């Protein structure tokens, strides 16, 4: 916890404007080296493992494991929702947790989804954004992939402060971690065609992954294209008539 908080303070100290635009990647050569090694581990390990998981384990079972992983993430989502002052989303997540634990065989069946209770996934990176911490430089992390300085700190804090840390012990803790890993493998399997095309068909997979991550993350954090009237000035608008060559 302490190293995380120190890092947060450091980050807050050098934070720029919260609404980030463009690509800020001063560590590009380091990031590209990490990207190359992530691609190698995807090719040799993650992709083959996901193909085996998809081929061997039937879809309903894989979905059940992913549902369980989502339920296990809810306490963290609730804590972050409260830290963001978003009582409504934290409350909805609490209801989800209660409903799925009660009627969903301990989280394996997403009963809440069928009941129309939405899921609000969040994380400490978003909490930092709500608190006004700037995005910081782009980072590609080993194993975890595309991130930013702010989101990397968020990932560390989420791991260190997960409310389940004090609850789950021994085999339960290992099973929870395994559900998380299998859920990621299931995503890698389900979106295999798209992930493969980004990683292996792009002329520059590093640049493509960086762009997709930053755009999607800023959208998720409500910094661009959020439907507000000020959308006209956001990062997502490109005018190919006024600026035909994208300068």
Partner 1 sequence: MASNPLLSRRAFVGAGLAAAAAFGALPAAALSVDEARALIDKVVADINGVINSGKSEAQMMPSFEKLFARYADVPTIARSALGVAARSASNAQMKAFTKAFQHYISHKYGRRFREFIGGKIEVKDARPLKSYYEVISTAYLKGEAPFEVRWHVGDKSGKNLFFNIIIEGVNMLASERTEIGAMLDKRKGNIDALIADLNAT
202 binds partner 1 (CB under 8 A): yes
**Measured from the CB of residue 219, what is the shortest distance to partner 1 in angstroms?**
2
By C-beta, is 170 or 214 nearer to partner 1? Answer: 214
Does 96 bind partner 1 (CB under 8 A)? Our answer is no
The Cα–Cα gap between 106 and 68 comes to 8
Residue 12 CB, shortest distance to partner 1, in Å, is 19
Rounded to an integer, what distance in angstroms lies between the CA atom of residue 72 and that of residue 195? 25
For residue 228, give every residue at least 6 positions away whose Cβ sits within 8 Å of its Cβ, in sequence order, or none: none
The residue from 145, 160, 165, 168 that contacts partner 1 (CB under 8 A) is: 145
Burial 65-78 (b: 16+ CB within 10 A, else e): bbbbbbbbbbbbbb
Helices (H), the chain: 2-13, 28-41, 47-56, 59-83, 87-103, 111-114, 124-130, 149-161, 170-190, 192-196, 205-220
Q: Which is nearer to partner 1, 96 or 188 (CB)?
A: 188
Q: Which is nearer to partner 1, 172 or 196 (CB)?
A: 196
Rounded to whole angstroms, what are the CA distances from 112 to 61, 94, 150?
18, 11, 31
Residue 209 structure tokens:
């992954």
Q: Toward partner 1, which CB reaches closer, 79 or 170?
A: 79
Q: Footprint of partner 1 on residues 37-76 (CB under 8 A)?
A: 38, 42, 46, 73
Asked whether position 99 contacts partner 1 by CB under 8 A, the answer is no
Residue 148, φ and ψ in degrees, nearest 5: -130, 170
Q: Which residues bind partner 1 (CB under 8 A)?
A: 38, 42, 46, 73, 119, 121, 123, 125-126, 144-147, 151, 154-155, 158, 184, 187-188, 190-191, 193-195, 197-199, 202-204, 207-209, 211-213, 215-220, 224-225, 227, 229, 231-232, 236-241, 244-247
């Amino acid at each position: 916890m302490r190293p995380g908080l120190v890092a947060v303070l450091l980050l807050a100290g050098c934070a720029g404007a919260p609404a980030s635009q463009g690509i800020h990647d001063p560590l590009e050569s380091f990031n590209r080296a990490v990207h190359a090694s992530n691609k190698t581990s995807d090719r040799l390990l993650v992709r083959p493992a996901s193909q085996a998981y998809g081929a061997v384990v039937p879809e309903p079972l894989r979905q059940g494991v992913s549902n369980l992983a989502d339920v296990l993430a809810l306490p963290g989502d609730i804590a972050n929702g409260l830290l963001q002052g978003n009582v409504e989303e934290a409350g909805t997540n609490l209801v989800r947790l209660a409903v799925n634990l009660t009627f969903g065989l301990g989280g394996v069946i997403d009963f809440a989804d069928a009941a129309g209770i939405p899921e609000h996934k969040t994380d400490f990176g978003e909490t930092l954004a709500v608190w006004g911490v700037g995005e910081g430089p782009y980072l590609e992390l080993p194993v975890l992939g595309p991130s930013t300085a702010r989101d990397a700190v968020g990932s560390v804090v989420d791991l260190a402060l997960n409310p389940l840390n004090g609850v789950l012990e021994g085999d339960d803790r290992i099973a929870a971690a395994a559900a998380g890993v299998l859920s990621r493998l299931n995503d890698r399997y389900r979106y295999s065609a798209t992930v493969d095309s980004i990683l292996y068909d792009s002329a520059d997979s590093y640049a493509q992954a960086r762009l997709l991550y930053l755009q999607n993350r800023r959208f998720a954090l409500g910094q661009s294209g959020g439907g507000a009237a000020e959308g006209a000035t956001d990062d997502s608008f490109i005018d190919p008539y006024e600026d035909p060559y994208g300068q």
